[in-house]
Chains A and B, each alone.
Chain A
Amino acid sequence: MASLRELQGAFAAALRDPAAACAVLPPANMSVYRNNASVTFRETLAHTFPVVHRRVGDDYFRQLAVLYRAGFPSSSGDLHGFGRDFPAFLAEYLDGGDYAWLADLARLEWLRAECSVEKTVSALGAEALGNYASAELERLEFALQPSLRLHSSSYPVFTVWQANQSENASPVDQSTGNEQGMVLARDDGPELASLAPRLFSFLSALQSRATLGDAMTTAGFGEQELLEALAFLFRQGMVCGLSVRAPA
């Protein structure tokens, strides 16, 4: 008699290939399991990438889901991570074509999916800066909300995402150029917003634990711009912690 491992291996092969031998009865009903798997994966992908789905339509999305699953089969009993490689798959599949921007849109939607299950930490108010001496301010490091995701694209993907929150949205002119922005958890779901390039650079630097002084230099901020950026961070509830880096 075949071992359990052999029986499950044959069943798995028959799920991938209808022509593979598998000693089950009635054999025709294996199609139910094959269909279950393809529908589950496609629906999971469509749930995670609703705007990509909307832009390409049902038929093309179905083809993409089949190709993606063939290259990136599920590696977990938890489906929440199933779309992780979809942006990279699209980038390779659409490389250089007119629809290459869809990969960047997918990256934004994956960041949104990640953000939607992150915890939100109590935010500090701007008055927390008052706890530090003037000389310490440039060596301040910021702990930002764990849900904050930053995304920079060569395409106007934030505009595409926003425009496609309703059906029958008009196509966005991709030649309008690059966009940068953020995704941040709110009580009613992730919020997406595009950011000015220098504010994006400033936030990126702080998120990678640059000091306030270094982030200011990276962004090319003057004093007034710095004050406005800090007011934005605190107003958005992004700052969860402050600490002073020891002098080098």
Chain B
Amino acid sequence: MSHLDTGANLEPIPARAGIGFRAAHHEALLAELPPVGFIEAHTENYFHEGGAAVRALLRARANYALSLHGVGLGLGSADGVDREHLARVRRAVQRFEPALISEHACWGHAGGEYFNDLLPLPYTEEAARVLARQVSETQDFLGRQLLIENVSAYVTFADSQLTEWDFLGEVVARSGCGLLLDVNNVYVSAGNLGLDARAFIAGLPRAAVREIHLAGHARNGAVLIDNHGSPVCEAVWDLYCHAIARFGPVPTLIEWDTDIPPLATLVAESARADQLLKDCRGLAA
């Protein structure tokens, strides 16, 4: 495994709370410059040479540390990774110089068809090898470490042999990637699949977690839906406290992608996470 640039030589992302950089907030964020720790942008929205979104991110980049978060590589797809898509990710990385780069532990295409969703992997030795190999190849191509995020799941494969946390641990060990722990996704998957959310957090390799995501979810009958459309719920805040007690204060993103509220609401959510991170640092001191 080659030495990977973790992005620490760029302006590092502080162990504070950040917010997603969404089109509905571009104007307000650039006008008000709220005191959030960093911003995170969806990589695929910045694949083009021009346009309002690119101009806004270039301006925001002058004021905030940046994390680029991809949703389209499908790193666990048995059909491999689209080289053209990967080249566009590299172009975005070179252009915007993010301190963190992340993607998902999922797949998204088969037989030439893309589903444009974060589909769950079977937790098998073969899937861990495939994901780790494609994460390694991506890291080598970008010259940067990737953080891999656990996804929300609504089903589990009957063929799964490993727990999700052991699966992620194996991918980390094989590829040298870091982890982006989505605490809301842990809560949603645990609720849908009968998992122990605290065992999930306890089972992850401690030093690998370099970023955390928090978001809201919805309930549809017995199913929890990861819709990023509401405030973080109290049970997820509790689980977050449990997570930072184990992993220490790490950069934490508030995600809100549907029914997007005023910027001030998002900033208030990030302030709550910031206070918890501060308390965590106090306990560690």
Q: Interface of A with B (CB < 8 Å)?
A: 1-5, 7-9, 11-12, 15, 23-27, 29-30, 32-33, 36-37, 40-41, 73-80, 82, 116-120, 147, 185, 187-189
Contacts and interface: CB of A to CB of B under 8 A. Distances in A.
Contact of A32 (B50, B79, B154): B154
B117 interface: yes
Contacts of B124: 1, 4
A78 B50 contact: no
Contact of A78 (B54, B76, B79, B88): B88
Contact of B117 (A2, A40, A116): A40
B223 A32 contact: yes
B48 A118 contact: yes
A4 B128 CA distance: 10
Nearest to B44: A78
Which of B85, B159, B193 is most buried by chain A, counting CB atoms within 10 A of its CB?
A: B159
Given A23-B159, A29-B155, A76-B72, 6 more contacts: A9-B110, A24-B158, A40-B116, A75-B114, A77-B85, A80-B44
Given A15-B115, A118-B49, A29 B109 contact: no
Given A1-B124, A4-B124, A80-B47, A74 B114 contact: yes
Contacts of A1: 124, 159
Contact of A33 (B119, B156, B158): B119
**Which interface class (under 10, 10 to 19, 20 to 34, 35 or more) fits B?**
35 or more
A36 B108 CA distance: 13
Nearest to A12: B110
Interface string B104-139: 000111111111110100101011001000000000
Interface string B71-90: 11110111100100100100
B154 to A, nearest CB: 4
A41 to B, nearest CB: 7
Contacts of B220: 32
5 contacts: A12-B113, A117-B48, A117-B50, A185-B51, A187-B52
Query: Lowest 8 A-B CB distances belong to which pairs?
Result: A77-B72, A119-B50, A117-B48, A24-B155, A5-B78, A117-B51, A29-B154, A23-B158
Given A12-B110, A23-B158, A76 B192 contact: no
A25 B158 contact: yes
Contacts of A40: 116-117
Given A24-B157, A79-B44, A80-B44, A74 B113 contact: yes
Given A1-B159, A24-B158, A118-B50, A78 B85 contact: yes
A4 B116 contact: no
A119 B49 contact: yes
B225 interface: yes
Contacts, number: 126
A224 B10 CA distance: 57
Given A29-B154, A189-B52, A78 B47 contact: yes
B156 A117 contact: no
A147 B49 CA distance: 11
A3 B76 CA distance: 13
Contacts of B79: 5, 8
A123 to B, nearest CB: 14
B159 A25 contact: no
Contacts of A32: 154, 220, 223, 225
Given A4-B122, A4-B127, A73 B156 contact: no
Which of A11, A24, A37, A77 is most buried by chain B, counting CB atoms within 10 A of its CB?
A: A77
A80 B156 CA distance: 30
B274 to A, nearest CB: 32
Contact of A120 (B50, B73, B108): B50
B114 A23 contact: no
Given A11-B119, A29-B192, A30-B155, A77 B74 contact: yes
Contact of B111 (A2, A9, A187): A9
